[in-house]
Chains A and B, each alone.
Chain A
Amino acid sequence: MSGILNVGTRALQANQIALQTAGNNIANVNTPGYSRQTAVMQTVPGQFTGSGYIGKGVEVSTIERAYSEFLTRQSALASATSSGDTARSDKLTQLETLFQGGKDGLGAAVSDMLNAFSDVATAPTDLTARTVALTRVSETAQRMSNTATSMDDLQQSLTLELKNKVTSINSLATGIASVNEKIARAQGNGQPPNDLLDQRDQLVSDLNQYIQTTSIPATDGTVGIFIGGSQALVLGNTAAALSLTADDFGVQNNKLALIRNGVSNTLNENTLGGGEVPGLLRFQNTDMAEARNLLGRYSLAVTTSMNDQHKLGLDLDGNPGGNLFTPSDITNNVSGAATNSVGAGSLTLGISDISRFAASDYEVNFSSATAGTATRKSDGSLTAFTFTAGTALTNGTFAFYDPSTGVNDLPAIDGLTLNSVTTSAPSAGDRFLLKPFSTATGNISAEFSSPRALAVASPWAGKMGASNTGSLQLSGLETRNQPVGTPPPVTIKFINANQYIRSDDTNYANYPATLPLPLVYAYVSGTPIEASLPSNYPTTPYTYAAVSDWSVTLQGAPKPNDTYTVFGIKDTTTDPSTGRPHNNGIDLTLTSGNANAMMNLRDAAMFDGASLTDGYAGLIAQIGIRSQSASYTAGVSSAIAASVEKNRTAVSGVNLDEEAAKLLQYQQAYQASAKVIQIAQSIFDTLIQTMSR
């Protein structure tokens, strides 16, 4: 009798717990991190009688959490990868918008600026055309510095975001440590603390949004959280602190360091894996750095080549041109490692060849006091150099050493020179970081605004002999250097259709009768003739620059005794053969040789062989490719994350239909149990009535 009652009561209790559990599941259907719970029923062991074991009903042995360790870990990992990729892709989309194509872009500004010199060449005395060209110069400077400013803004918000996220990581880690402690305490009472476990899993999952972690359970129920492969972020109930730190070369906020017990341990970026913080760091240290280098290289090459060409011209007052843009100073863009034996100031950067620039940072490592390697960071290519104090430094074809100044020139790397400016030589293990382009764009502005000061004329001029009978035409006269003083004119005199002699040969006048004869050069129509000197050139009274001062290209078929003479455009000294000034009294303000040369910069091979005006197209494509591939990667990894999360929730998630069915199921069982009690009562009543008669 009491047996039936007991069985019924137990069943009532057990089914009530099951109903409550189902209700709890329904209540928590939208709670993040909640794992579906099930009341686990078991029979109460039967009582032995002569008739065998009589069942004593049911009891709830435990409330079980539907949980797959494997799927939870996989989901956390996939979501870490996905959030890292997405963070990087989102930032790249922002970065990409700074490099607009089309008419509003920086490339169009540069192209318009160079094209504006066409109108100046058409009308060299027209101040309006000159003003338009200057306005275009200023517009270009503006767009360059605007882009650089926007990148700085992006960097600032990025740094702030990184700091906030690192703070979040630290508070999550502290949270996990404290839950660990509670779980360890609850461990003693025999039943699993399901809600605490869920809470910890959720904290770990949140943490994985920020940084990929590895969880290793300990025997006391706590879980150790490791990042960067093997660095412990949480151990038991203690959490280490993560912080942003500078790298070896003092570049701020580009590394993560883990501080445990006061000891700071810098983490290797490559081992960090997924998560928003590593994703953002990757964006900052590779994508952003490359974009800065690309922009820096572009603006440095454009402004330097424009400045250099402009300085080779003469303005309306006949003075040499100045800088069009504020020149970028890259001299001190060198930083040394903290452990170096000499300071960063002992090395300086210089430009040797704009057209060979590569958009990269460089690391210079001294393997001994006399040798080392330079590494191009963008592709990791190595250049070895040797360094012997007081002698020439050699690097393949390069050898630079200037004994007159005592300057040791390290090898020219990609059009850059590295100069040792102190006598104290670096020693083995010294490392230097060269960032030639990353800050080159920042302070570019237009240098002047007076249209008169635009150097449009060329300082060199040439004339054909008045009695030429051949069909010589002038293709171009390029300036390489401004004339110093009044250099003697150089006459190229043709002795037949394919050969010429030069008046800067000491034996020029001997031709054709007297020995020694002057050197004879071959003439090819359309091939430049350089001002470089024949070996027997007299060095007095005029000292020529070591390199060519000009380069002239003639075309057509000359006849014997046809001449072409190159002289300074301001050379008014008397030409003894005509009795008139060398420049025939021409007005240099009506000429536009240098405007043409500025215009021709459009085709100068500059960026990995691409022309100057095509450089920007390459730049936006390069950043576009990064953005595109990051976006693809983010798409793939978020699809994977979604799929794995779906699998995880298939195990741990609450399904309302299932719970509804369970409600019905346990409700019926509950009702049936109540019936058992009613039956027991009814039996008892029957017994009582029978007995009472």
Chain B
Amino acid sequence: MSTLSNARLGSANAYDTAVNNITSRQSALSTLQEQLSSGKRVVRASDDPTSAAIAERALTRISRIATDQRALTSQVSSITQAESALGDVTDALQRFRELTVSAGNGAYSTAERKSVAIELQGLRDQIFALSNTKDSNGLPLFSALGSALTPFVSPQQAAAPDYTFNGLPGQMASTAVSVPFALDGNSAFMLTSTQAYTVAANTTPTSTLTNSQVTISNPSALTGDTYTVTVTGIDLASSPGNTLLSYDVTGTVSGTTSYTSIPYATGQTVAVNGLSGLSMNLTGNPVLGDSFTVTPGPSVSLFNVLDTAIQSIGNAPDSNTAGQAVSQALGDIDLGLAKVGAIRSQAGELLNRADRISGNQDKRSIQMEADRSRAEDLDMVKGISDFQKQQTGYQVAMQTYAQIQKLSLFDFIR
């Protein structure tokens, strides 16, 4: 305090000053006590506005991370259920495939095939039920970008003989803090026109030429054309033991291309050229006019493939017909297995991603909590040390005040 040199002290003012000092010591002590008991350095924003804002922001982030994590738990639970459903679908499809293969056994009787068909029917029902599974909140697991409560519906009318997906095809993307709730059921269970091709069988009665299943050799070269392969020439003489086959491939858009004198071992297998992105083999002895039509299938579902297989196996009058049905069915089932497998691996990837997100979020939450604590929490050691320092100061102020008050010249006037 500045004083005038050799200044007189106003007694009343000296009392006031001393009392003020003691009061301010007391209030400082009480502030420290408040900080110690609340454990916070910043009790109100004016104590340290910047830290108060940091703490407030950190608190918002922490509660937000908790919310995101809770949502993520639900999302993981849904995707886990979906993944496990797809696992069951895969197992059932594999069992279905084994049974289908066994139905192709030439020694099976019609009755045996019927009983296989009945078992196949059970598997098909299981797969269909799995495709409409719902999560714990009652939302379909395979709802893609949104769907009806039951996304997959059996054929309702003769005009639309196939199953429908009552949903919006597509996959929602993950974000930095969440994964989707649902998988794309359309991709898992519905085959698209460019994914399933059907071949109208050879109708020439004397021919033994049969076709193999059409497979996709190069997806990017697919055109969606319908192709007709017509045999235009057979030369058995020029090269003994070999057949020289000539045929036209006519595409509805791409037009006709002729292939002449393609050699192959007589009675064996020859690959058909000119089917852009597709591959098909012919086996046997051709007759002029043999014709195969390769049509991009109408959008069919995996369930329809299964239904068709069950019907054609169950109703096959002889093992030859059964064999052709089995051949067609196996190709389609493999396609279905691949599609289900692809979505299942996507689910696995989503679960991995969810683990990473969850780990990151936990780390961020800890970081935010540390930020908040640094900003507003009291360092207890420092707090207690300050408190004791202040307490000592308070005691000294009171003691010296009391001592000085005892001193008065009047005490010496007797």
Contact = CB atoms under 8 A, between A and B. Distances in A.
A629 to B, nearest CB: 9
A686 B389 CA distance: 76
A525 to B, nearest CB: 10
A590 B143 contact: yes
B344 to A, nearest CB: 17
A17 B8 CA distance: 23
A109 B171 CA distance: 34
Contact of B45 (A580, A621, A658): A621
B3 A646 contact: yes
Interface in A540-569: 555-556, 559, 564, 569
Nearest to A554: B173
A653 interface: yes
Contacts of B170: 462-464, 468, 472-474, 564
B321 interface: no
A620 interface: yes
Interface string A29-73: 110000000000000000000000000000000000000000000
A101 B45 contact: yes
Interface stretch (B9-17, B229-237, B283-291, B392-400): B9-17
Contact of A624 (B49, B57, B167): B49
A587 B173 contact: no
B56 A121 contact: no
Interface string A95-127: 011010111010110011001001101111110
Contacts of B20: 642
A30 B143 CA distance: 87
Contacts of B71: 118-119, 121-122
A198 to B, nearest CB: 14
* Secondary structure of the A contact surface, majority rule: helix
A617 B56 contact: yes
Contacts of A461: 145-146, 168
A576 B48 CA distance: 66
A119 B70 contact: yes
Interface in B60-106: 60, 63-64, 67-68, 70-71, 74-75
B192 interface: yes
Nearest to A658: B8
Interface in B122-176: 137-140, 143, 145-149, 160, 164-173, 175
A628 interface: yes
B409 A660 contact: yes
* Secondary structure of the B contact surface, majority rule: mixed
B27 to A, nearest CB: 12
Given A643-B2, A647-B7, A125 B137 contact: yes
B52 A621 contact: yes
A251 B55 CA distance: 37
Interface in A635-664: 642-643, 645-647, 649-658, 660-661, 663-664
B413 interface: yes
B59 interface: yes
Given A96-B46, A466-B299, A656-B410, A555 B173 contact: yes
A187 interface: no
A101 B45 CA distance: 8
Given A112-B63, A587-B149, A650-B7, A463 B409 contact: no
Contact of A590 (B8, B10, B139): B139
A30 B15 CA distance: 10
Contacts of A585: 148, 164, 166
Contacts of A462: 145, 168, 170
Contacts of B195: 467
Contacts of A624: 44-49, 52-53
Given A623-B45, A660-B413, A586 B13 contact: no
Contacts of B59: 101-103, 108
Contacts of B206: none
A586 B63 contact: no
Contacts of A647: 2-4, 7
Contact of A473 (B1, B47, B147, B173): B173
A160 interface: no
Contacts of A658: 8
A579 B143 CA distance: 20
A396 B328 CA distance: 72
B55 A101 contact: yes
B168 A466 contact: no
A647 B9 CA distance: 9
Contacts of A424: none
Kindly state the interface size class of chain B when it binds its partner: 35 or more
A304 interface: no
Given A105-B56, A461-B146, A623-B45, A118 B173 contact: no
A584 B13 contact: no
B35 interface: no
Contact of A620 (B10, B53, B68, B139): B53
A333 interface: no
B414 to A, nearest CB: 11
Interface in A365-395: none
A692 B315 CA distance: 179
A135 to B, nearest CB: 16
A641 to B, nearest CB: 11
B260 interface: no
Looking at A111, A564, A652, A658, the one whose CB has the most chain B CB atoms below 10 A away is A111
Nearest to B372: A102
Contacts of A617: 52-54, 56-57, 60
Interface string B214-246: 000001100000000000000000000000000
A356 to B, nearest CB: 22
A627 B165 CA distance: 63
Interface in B400-414: 408-410, 413
23 contacts: A29-B12, A97-B44, A99-B45, A101-B52, A101-B55, A115-B63, A115-B67, A118-B67, A461-B146, A462-B168, A463-B169, A472-B170, A473-B171, A590-B139, A590-B140, A590-B149, A617-B57, A620-B56, A624-B48, A625-B46, A650-B3, A650-B4, A650-B9
Interface of A: 29-30, 92-93, 96-97, 99, 101-103, 105, 107-108, 111-112, 115, 118-119, 121-126, 461-469, 472-475, 555-556, 559, 564, 569, 579-580, 583-588, 590-591, 602, 613-614, 616-618, 620-625, 627-628, 631, 642-643, 645-647, 649-658, 660-661, 663-664
What 7 pairs between A and B have smallest CB-CB spacing?
A: A653-B10, A624-B45, A649-B10, A464-B170, A624-B49, A627-B46, A463-B168
Interface of B: 1-4, 7-13, 17, 20, 44-50, 52-57, 59-60, 63-64, 67-68, 70-71, 74-75, 137-140, 143, 145-149, 160, 164-173, 175, 181, 186, 190, 192-195, 219-220, 299, 408-410, 413
